[in-house]
């Protein structure tokens, strides 16, 4: 079973090497390495929650924290070496952590999925990015306001439909764009609240079965709540709006800088020349602002807005009708359950006996391979065969093959256990009532 797949976070169940083209196609390290700091921070928070839940010892936690500090130090000094097997930032950091501290690194991923890990990393990174963008936007607005104050006596034509309309103060034109940008800042503040939540500890789909203290994770990462939102789309919408405003301003300034207008002149620092015509002075800074805006928002106009409204209006009504009238075939749903879906539970069974999760994940993957090789269900593997994978397996492994038991172990907030789902239902009932009472 020796394979490069064993180095991957998901490798134990697979045999052989990944196609090199697929390897490159699937890799995200080229761009997600920018989240190295957020990834280390999230992992440091998570190991503290693991220690509180009794899944790692105090000594193991200290080793992992020390190792993560070393990983952090390498990144901060620009000395971290990415290797071919590092398909993403999570794999890279855990690989390096294991090189520093050995086997205890294998326990760091217990109960954690790359799904909630990347969601956490993205949020932590985006939260800091939003802070930076807000600061830059405020600097721009401040500059515009101060210029408007100094040049308040300057008058210029106001334009509509590219035609001279009414005289206005030059400051009036400046502040009209400052107002739009100020609203962008307010929207960005709202988005930061949505971004500043903690998905870590939610697992891949069902939740976390190890009584992980998600409130502790929230406090350590300084987030506002434990929740999930579609934060990326919201941020992209904000960026689209903000760049629309900046594109409008740039378009005016490009016109004002032409010989025909001659309202403004750009400094050489923000202009370029022509490779053919020596007299040219091109407003490339402004033209690039406009082209970058187009790169973000693609197509955005009133026609699209109205069409989108009509579509959503119809979709919501149709979806409501579908959900309110569909019928559930419970026997078919339950009949679709199969023991291979409990492979993660098999790994957790070993974790509860003290095995590091990374090793347990690999063992469960090997058990899946044995079942497939013998053309039997995972639950039909004999204890003797399982013991060839790990001596920790014994007769009590039979308790794993219980779907209800599997579901009920995910009782942490956001999990799929009955108590958790009931709490979610009550939460939404309360929330819906509160929404109805708003003016």
CA distance 325 to 104: 52
274 as an active site residue: the answer is yes
SS (H, E, C) 47-94: HHHHHHCCCCCHHHHHHHHHHHHHHHHHHHCCCCCCCCCCCCHHHHHH
Cα radius of gyration (the chain): 28
Residue with tokens 């078919």: 332
Nearest alpha carbon to residue 361 among 347, 371, 349, 375: 347
| CA dihedral sign of residues 384, 385, 389, 393 | negative
Say whether 161 is catalytic.
yes
The C-alpha atoms of residue 400 and residue 371 are separated, in whole angstroms, by 15
Q: How many CB atoms lie within 10 A of CB 93?
A: 28
Q: What are the C-alpha distances in Å from 175 to residues 80, 163, 251? A: 46, 20, 16
Distance CA 131, CA 106 (A): 34
Catalytic residue among 76, 274, 398, 399: 274
Both tokens of residue 264? 């403004």
CA proximity to 194, closest of 236, 151, 142: 236
Contact (Cβ atoms closer than 8 angstroms) between residue 92 and residue 82: yes
Helix runs in 196-273, H state only: 214-220, 231-256
DSSP 8-state symbol, 22: H
SS3 call for 167 = strand
What is the C-alpha separation between 437 and 342, in angstroms, rounded? 44
Do 377 and 340 form a contact (C-beta atoms < 8 A)? yes
Neighbours of 14 (CB within 10 A): 17
Classified as helix, coil or strand, 382 is coil
Instruction: Enumerate the H helices of 106-152 as residue ranges.
Output: 114-150
Question: Active-site positions?
Answer: 161, 274
């Amino acid at each position: 079973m020796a394979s490069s797949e064993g180095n991957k976070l998901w490798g134990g169940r697979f045999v052989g090497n990944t196609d090199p083209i697929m390897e490159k196609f699937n890799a995200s390290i080229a761009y997600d390495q920018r989240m190295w700091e957020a990834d280390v921070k999230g992992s440091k928070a998570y190991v503290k929650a693991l220690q509180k839940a009794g899944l790692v010892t105090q000594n193991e936690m200290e080793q992992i924290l020390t190792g993560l500090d070393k990983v952090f130090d390498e990144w901060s000094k620009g000395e971290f070496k990415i290797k071919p097997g590092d398909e993403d930032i999570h794999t890279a950091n855990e690989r390096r952590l294991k090189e520093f501290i050995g086997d205890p690194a294998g326990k760091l991923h217990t109960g954690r999925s790359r799904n909630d890990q990347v969601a956490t990393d993205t949020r932590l990174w985006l939260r800091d990015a939003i802070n930076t963008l807000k600061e830059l936007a405020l600097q721009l607005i401040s500059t515009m306001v101060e210029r408007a104050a100094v040049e308040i006596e300057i008058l210029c034509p106001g334009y509509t439909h590219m035609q001279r309309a009414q005289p206005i103060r030059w400051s009036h034109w400046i502040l009209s764009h400052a107002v739009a940008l100020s609203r962008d800042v307010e929207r960005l503040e709202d988005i930061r609240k949505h971004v500043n939540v903690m998905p870590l500890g939610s697992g891949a789909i069902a939740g976390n079965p190890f009584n992980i203290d998600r409130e502790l994770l929230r406090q350590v990462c300084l987030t506002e709540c434990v929740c999930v939102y579609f934060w990326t789309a919201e941020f992209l919408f904000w960026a689209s709006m903000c760049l629309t405003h900046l594109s409008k301003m740039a378009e005016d300034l490009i016109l004002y800088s032409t010989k025909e207008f001659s309202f403004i002149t750009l400094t050489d620092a923000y202009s370029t020349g022509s490779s053919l015509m020596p007299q040219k002075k091109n407003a490339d800074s402004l033209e690039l602002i406009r082209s970058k805006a187009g790169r973000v928002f693609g197509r955005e106009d009133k026609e699209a807005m109205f069409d989108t409204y009509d579509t959503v209006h119809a979709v919501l009504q149709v979806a409501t009708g579908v959900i309110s009238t569909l019928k559930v075939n419970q026997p078919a749903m339950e009949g679709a359950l199969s023991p291979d879906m409990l492979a993660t539970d098999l790994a957790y069974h070993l974790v509860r006996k003290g095995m590091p999760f990374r090793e347990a994940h690999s063992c469960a993957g090997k058990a899946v391979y044995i079942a497939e090789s013998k053309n039997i269900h995972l639950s039909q593997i004999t204890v003797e065969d399982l013991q060839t994978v790990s001596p920790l397996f014994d007769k009590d492994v039979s308790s794993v093959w219980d779907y209800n038991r599997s579901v009920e172990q995910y009782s942490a907030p956001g999990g799929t256990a009955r108590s958790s789902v009931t709490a979610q239902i009550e939460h939404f009932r309360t929330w819906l009532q509160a929404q109805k009472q708003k003016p």
